Amino acid sequence: MADAVVSTAEPTRRDFLYLATTAAVGVGAAATVWPLVGAMAPDADTVAAGAPVELDLTPIAEGQIVKVFWRGKLIFVRHRTEAEIKAAQDVNLDALRDPQPDSARVKEGHADWLVVYGNCTHLGCVPLGNSGEYNGWFCPCHGSVFDTSGRIRQGPAPINLPIPPYTFVSDTKIRIGESGATA
């Protein structure tokens, strides 16, 4: 320490160069890594493929589940029966792992339509419709059970099947990928 103070001019310049070089290398390395990692993020095509998709609901019969894709992700559109809606509503919320009333999972006035992402929230398998103890979905991979509102009831999945952004364009048509004013 004392040495550094005694020997003045020369070492100071060297110290400066040393620090400046280290800083330049550090910034340069960070500036190089940034685009390298950035190039692995979803590219422009993939993002653009996320444009909203429209779905005509008229051909979907009561009790039927239809699979559609948006942004490469699977979505279930389920035309629920009276009994299924009732089962989804008559649930003690305290008993749920991820408590959510059925009314928060459908659009107002459209309780007969349930639109949820189709990949199990455990590890992403596709659950089988109209099966499991609650007649909602049953995931064959590790046994998660979902009810007719897509809520997790048993098994390892941590949360309910999420709801994608969508909106009713008319009573018989939805647009997925866009959360309208009614959301």
Partner 1 sequence: MNDHHHATTYVPKSAFAKWFESRLPIAGLIHSSFVAFPVPRNLNYFWTFGGVLFVMLVLQIVTGVILAMHYTPEATKAFDSVEHIMRNVNYGWLLRYLHANGASMFFVAVYIHIFRNLYYGSYKAPREVLYILGVIIYLLMMATAFLGYTLPWGQMSFWGATVITNILAAIPVVGDAIQSLLWGGYSVGNPTLNRFFSLHYLLPFMIVGVVILHVWALHVPGNNNPAGIDIQSGRDAVPFHPYMTVKDGFSLVVFLIFFAWWVFYMPNYLGHADNYIPANPAVTPAHIVPEWYFLPFYAILRAIPDKLGGVIAMFGSIVVLALVPWLDTSKVRSAVYRPIYKQFFWIWVVVCVILGWLGAKPAEGGYVIAARIATAYYFAHFLVIMPLIGFFEKPKPLPRSIVDSVLGPGASRIPVGAAAAPQAKG
Stretch that binds partner 1, among 14-22, 102-110, 152-160, 174-182 (CB under 8 A): 152-160
**CB-count burial class (<10 Å; 0-12, 13-18, 19+) for 133:** exposed
Count interface residues toward ligand FES (CB under 6 A): 13
Residue 85, contacted partner among ligand FES, partner 1, none, CB below 5-8 A by kind: none
Q: Is 97 in the site for partner 1 (CB under 8 A)?
A: no
Shortest reach from residue 41's CB to partner 1, in Å: 6
Count interface residues toward partner 1 (CB under 8 A): 27
3-state secondary structure of 132: coil
Q: Is 126 in the site for ligand FES (CB under 6 A)?
A: no
Which residue type does 8 have?
T
Residues 53-72 that bind ligand FES (CB under 6 A): none
Q: In which order are the strands placed within the sheet that holds 113-117?
A: 65-70, 73-79, 113-117
Q: Is 149 in the site for partner 1 (CB under 8 A)?
A: no
Distance CA 2, CA 4 (A): 5
Residues 10-69 that bind partner 1 (CB under 8 A): 37, 40-43, 46, 50, 67, 69
For the window 127-156, what string marks contact with ligand FES as x by the rule CB under 6 A? Answer: ------------x-xxxx----------xx
How many Cβ atoms from other residues are within 10 Å of residue 75's Cβ?
Answer: 23
3-state secondary structure of 68: strand
79 catalytic per annotation: no
Q: Which of 106, 157, 161, 163 binds ligand FES (CB under 6 A)?
A: 157
Distance CA 144, CA 140 (A): 8
Which residue type does 66 have?
V
3-state secondary structure of 128: strand
Give every CB contact of residue 23 below 8 A, 6+ residues apart in sequence.
Answer: none
Among all residues, which ones are annotated catalytic? 142
**Interface residue list for ligand FES (CB under 6 A):** 120, 122-125, 139, 141-144, 155-157
